[in-house]
Chain A
Amino acid sequence: MMSPHTKNPKERVIEALLAGSAGVSILTTVGIVYILLSQALRFFGEVSLWEFLTDTQWTPLYSDKHYGILPLLTGTLLTTLIALAVAIPLGLTTAVYLNMYSSARFKRVVKPLLELLAAVPTVVYGFFALAVITPALQVIIPNLSGFNALSAGMVMGVMIIPLISSLCEDALSAIPKSLKEASYGMGATKYQTAIRVVIPAAFSGIMVSVLLALSRAVGETMIVAVAAGQQPNLTLNPLVPIETITTYIVQISSGDVAHDSNEFRTIYAAGITLFVFTFILNNIGSWITRKYQQKYE
C-alpha cells in the first residue's frame, strides 16, 4: 500500500502532525502514571504502606487518623460483586437469546435499544437507585438503610448489561456455524446446544466481557456516590451504608480539604489503588483476547 509520493515534504509534515496527535495518548498515560505515583509517594512519605494495606479503619478527616484502605476496598468489592451478579446472568442470557433464538430483525432493533442502558448518565442511575430502588427494596427488607450497597450495585448491574450482552454476543457469533449444526444434527435442542457447545466454545470471549465489566464496576463513581453512602465500613453486609474508593475521591474533591495537604493526598493513594486494579483487569482481558480469540479463525 505504498503511495509513490511519500517523499513529498508536505506529506511528511502531515504525517508528523498525525503521529503527534496519536502521541497525545502516550502523554496522557505518562501524565496519569506520573501524577498518581508522585502524589501517592508523597502520601506514603507520611503514612506507611503497611498501615495503608492492613489498618481496618479509614478516618483521614478525623482527629484520630487511620489510613487503612481495606474498608474502601470491601465497599468497592461489595458493589462490584452485586453489579456482576445482576449483569452476568442477564447479559449472557440476552446474548444467547439474541444470537440463537431471535430473528435478525428483532436483534437489529433491540441491540441499539440495549445500548441506551449504557448511555444513561451515571448520576441519573444514582438517583434511580436512591429514589426508586431503595424505597422499593425497603418494602421487602425493612432494615435496609437509605444508603446501601445493594441498590447501588443492582442499578450498576443494569447499566453494565449492554457491555456484557454485546461482548458475549460477539463471542458467540465467532463460534463456527458447523459446531452448532453438528449439535443440532445430533438432535440437541437450541438450549442444549447453547449450554453444552456454544457457551463452552465462547468461554474466553465471555471471560473477557466479565473482566471488562468488573473493571467498569470497580471504577464506577456516581451511582455509588449518590446511593451507597459515604461511610467507610469494613463489612460485606449489603444492607448498610458503605464507601467505595471512587466515592471517597468524590467526597474529598467536593469538600473543603486544602489541596496541598496529606489529607487531600489520600485521594491519590486511593486513586493509584483504583488505577492498579482496573489496569490489571483490563490487561488480563486483552491477554486472554490475544491468546485465545484466534482459535477459530
Chain B
Amino acid sequence: MNNHHRHILQDRLFRYFGIACTFSGLILLAIFILDILFDGLGRINLSFFTNLPSRNPEEAGIFTAIIGTLMIMIHTAVIAIPLGVSAGVYLEEYGGRKSRFARFLEVNINNLAGVPSIIYGLLGLEVFVHGLHLGQSVLSASLTLALLILPIIIVTTREAIRAVPSTLRQASYGMGATRWQTIWHLILPASSGGILTGIILALSRVIGESAPLIAIGVMVYVPFAPTSPMDEFSALPVQIFNWISRPQKGFLINAAAAIIVLLSISLAMNLIAVYFRNKWQKQFKP
C-alpha cells in the first residue's frame, strides 16, 4: 500500500470516527432517557401529579413542586422579558453602540453570562431574601432567576434586531417616523421571532435551575402550593435533588418519574425554540 492509499484510508477512518463522536453524546442521552423511562414511567399516574410531598415514597407527589416551578417561571418571565428586551433594544438601536457606556455595558453583560448560577443564588440570598426581607418566597427566587437569564435575553434580542435589514429602518425614518415609532412598529415585530426564541430558551433554563434556588434556601418540604408571590415554595428540580439524596429506593423511583416530567418540559421548550428559530430565519432569506 503506497502513501496515497494510506492517506485515503486514514481520511475514511476519520470520517467514521467523526460520525461516532458526533453521535456519542446523543446516544448516551438516549440510553439515559430509556433508563429513566424504564425506572419511572410506572410511577407516573394522576395522583403523582396531585399528591403533596410525603415521607412515604408511594404517597409522595409533585403537586407543590410543579405549581412552584410554574409560579417561578411566570414571575421570572414578567420581570426579565421587559428588562432584557429593553436593554437589548437600547444597546442595538440607540447610537450608544459605539459610546464608552455601551462598550462597558457589553463587556459587563458578557461577564455576567459567565458567572456560575450558584453565585446568583448568593446574590439573591443577601439582596432579596435578607436585604429586602422578601424571605424564601416565589418573588425572591423569581428576581434571582430573572437576573440570571437577563444576559441570555439581552444577547438574543440584540442578535434578532441585528438581523433586521437596515433598509426597513431607513424607509421608516424617511416617512418621518421617530426612532421609537420605528422600533415599536417595525423593528420589534420584525425581530419578534428571534426574540421569542431567546425567551423560550431562557425560560427553559429557569425551569431546570436548582443551584440558585438551593442557595437562597428554598424549602423542600412545603405542604401547600404557593398562591401568591410572597409564599414559600418548592420547585421540581429541587424536589428531584431531594429525592435523589435519600437512601430509600422508592424515592429514587420518584426522582426518575419527576425527571420524566421535568425533561419532557425542558426538551419540549427547546424543540419549540428551534422551530421558531427556523421559521424566523427563513423570513429574511430571499
Inside 8 A of B279's CB, which chain A residues have their CB? none
A114 to B270, CA, bound (A): 11
As a 0/1 sequence over residues 158 to 175 of chain B, the CB contacts with chain A under 8 angstroms (1 = contact) are 000000001001000100
Distance in angstroms from B27 CB to nearest chain A CB is 10
Interface centre among B82, B90, B147, B176 (most CB of A within 10 A): B90
Which residues A85-113 have CB closer than 8 A to chain B?
Answer: 89-90, 93-94, 96-98, 101-102, 110, 112-113
Bin the interface of chain A by size. 35 or more
Flag whether A19 is at the interface (Cβ < 8 A). yes
Flag whether A44 is at the interface (Cβ < 8 A). no
A119 to B8, CA, bound (A): 38
Inside 8 A of A23's CB, which chain B residues have their CB? 105
A161 to B28, CA, bound (A): 12
Inside 8 A of A21's CB, which chain B residues have their CB? 82-84, 86-87, 90
- Which residue on B lies nearest to A8, using beta carbons? B178
Distance in angstroms from A209 CB to nearest chain B CB is 13
Inside 8 A of B211's CB, which chain A residues have their CB? 122, 221-222, 225, 246, 250
Flag whether A292 is at the interface (Cβ < 8 A). no
A254 to B211, CA, bound (A): 10
Inside 8 A of A19's CB, which chain B residues have their CB? 90, 94, 96
Bin the interface of chain B by size. 35 or more
Of A10-18, A52-60, A235-243, the one contacting chain B is: A10-18
Flag whether B109 is at the interface (Cβ < 8 A). yes
Of B29-37, B41-49, B50-58, the one contacting chain A is: B29-37
As a 0/1 sequence over residues 8 to 35 of chain A, the CB contacts with chain B under 8 angstroms (1 = contact) are 1011001101110111111011011001
As a 0/1 sequence over residues 102 to 133 of chain A, the CB contacts with chain B under 8 angstroms (1 = contact) are 10000000101111110111111011101110
- Are A35 and B25 in contact, with the CB atoms below 8 A? no
- Are B94 and A18 in contact, with the CB atoms below 8 A? yes
- Which residue on B lies nearest to A106, using beta carbons? B22
Inside 8 A of A173's CB, which chain B residues have their CB? none
Flag whether A197 is at the interface (Cβ < 8 A). no
Q: How many A-B residue contacts, CB cutoff 8 Å?
A: 255
Contact of B267 among A36, A90, A116, A122 (CB under 8 A): A116
Footprint of B on A, CB under 8 Å? 1-6, 8, 10-11, 14-15, 17-19, 21-26, 28-29, 31-32, 35-36, 39, 89-90, 93-94, 96-98, 101-102, 110, 112-117, 119-124, 126-128, 130-132, 158, 161-162, 189-192, 194, 212, 215, 218-222, 225-226, 246, 249-250, 253-254, 259, 267-268, 271, 274-275, 278-279, 281-283, 286
The 17 listed contacts between A and B (C-beta, < 8 Å) are A3-B177, A14-B180, A15-B90, A17-B86, A18-B87, A19-B94, A25-B87, A25-B154, A94-B21, A94-B22, A121-B208, A124-B259, A226-B245, A246-B118, A249-B121, A282-B111, A286-B107
Q: Which 6 A-B pairs have the closest CB atoms?
A: A219-B116, A121-B208, A97-B18, A21-B86, A18-B90, A282-B114
